[in-house]
């Protein structure tokens, strides 16, 4: 397996059908498989453990898992929460804006990967089994995801048609494991990159992952660059993610002589 370098710029990007490099400073290549904006938003919501809701001029932080059901989200809030009371009073739903920040699990400079703003109507669903909290339903009207590389807007219908990434719930654990326990593997993977990107001996950290590939952060004293390594085939679960990384490592070892020359 030979890598096919493909230069493109910062951030979360992807590239071709091999162990390709995708660099995020340029426009996305049509051939590069990567999650759509709606899939990214669904994945971000699926992995969330807390959100901020804005309603009626007030802001409420909820510690809650988020489940995505088409264009509807299921949240949980304390029974005595102001947002619960406000939602109960509105027969047609409480107009809310949900804010969620995507923070890289591994410590890097410029750690915020994106900011999600989602608008919709919040309804009281039913009392939770513990009797102390309630389930809330948020009907999504539209949402926007802003990253360092631009902002993309979607509708509730777009979200309903998207499938969250199967690795979304495991991304934080997989990235921190890779960073903390396998720095040697990260060093080997850099052999897949354009040697010019390594000229200043950047610090290499895993920034993001999804079923299509792994994004590395190349941190220089004067800035950073994010480069995606694309899996030969998408990973369907955490076990397959491990297999895909091993395939990239094999490709990197095979590519070594070419890069040394």
Rounded CA separation 117/248 (Å): 35
Query: Among residues 118, 127, 169, which one has the least CA distance to residue 146?
Result: 118
Beta bridge partners of 62: 51
Beta bridge partners of 142: 119, 155
Write out the two tokens for 51.
């959100």
Mean pLDDT confidence for 57-76: 96
H or E element that contains 43 = helix 37-47
Residue 132: predicted pLDDT? 94
Q: Is residue 6 within 8 Å of 20, Cβ to Cβ? A: yes
Indicate the pLDDT class of residue 220, thresholds 50, 70 and 90: confident
Residue 216: predicted pLDDT? 96
List % helix, strand, coil for the chain (3-state, nearest 5).
30, 40, 35
Instruction: Label residues 49-65 b or e (16+ Cβ within 10 Å = b).
Output: eebebbbeeeebebebe
Indicate the pLDDT class of residue 7, thresholds 50, 70 and 90: very low
Query: Among residues 245, 254, 213, which one has the least CA distance to residue 20?
Result: 213
Q: 């949402």: which residue's tokens?
A: 143
pLDDT at 141 over 90: yes
Write out the two tokens for 99.
């804010």
Indicate the pLDDT class of residue 16, thresholds 50, 70 and 90: very low
Rg, Å, the chain Cα set: 20
């Amino acid at each position: 397996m030979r890598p096919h370098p493909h230069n493109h710029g910062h951030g979360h990007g992807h590239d071709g059908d091999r162990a390709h490099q995708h660099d995020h400073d340029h426009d996305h290549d049509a051939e590069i498989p990567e999650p759509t904006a709606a899939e990214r938003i669904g994945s971000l919501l699926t992995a969330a453990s807390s959100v901020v809701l804005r309603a009626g001029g007030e802001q409420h932080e909820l510690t809650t898992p988020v489940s995505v059901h088409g264009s509807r989200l299921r949240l949980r809030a304390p029974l005595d929460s102001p947002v619960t009371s406000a939602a109960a009073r509105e027969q047609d739903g409480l107009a809310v804006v949900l804010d969620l920040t995507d923070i890289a699990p591994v410590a890097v400079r410029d750690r915020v990967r994106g900011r999600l703003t989602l608008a919709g109507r919040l309804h009281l669903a039913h009392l939770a089994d513990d009797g102390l909290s309630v389930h809330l339903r948020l009907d999504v009207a539209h949402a926007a995801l802003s990253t360092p590389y631009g902002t993309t807007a979607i509708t509730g219908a777009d979200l309903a048609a998207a499938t969250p990434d199967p690795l979304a719930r495991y991304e934080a654990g997989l990235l921190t494991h890779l960073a903390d326990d396998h720095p040697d593997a990260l060093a080997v993977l850099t052999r897949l990159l354009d040697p010019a990107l390594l000229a200043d001996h950047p610090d290499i950290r895993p920034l993001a992952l999804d079923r299509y590939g792994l994004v590395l952060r190349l941190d220089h004293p004067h800035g950073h660059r994010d480069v995606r390594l694309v899996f030969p085939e998408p990973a369907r679960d955490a076990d397959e993610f491990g297999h895909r990384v091993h395939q990239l490592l094999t490709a990197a070892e095979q590519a070594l002589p070419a890069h040394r020359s």
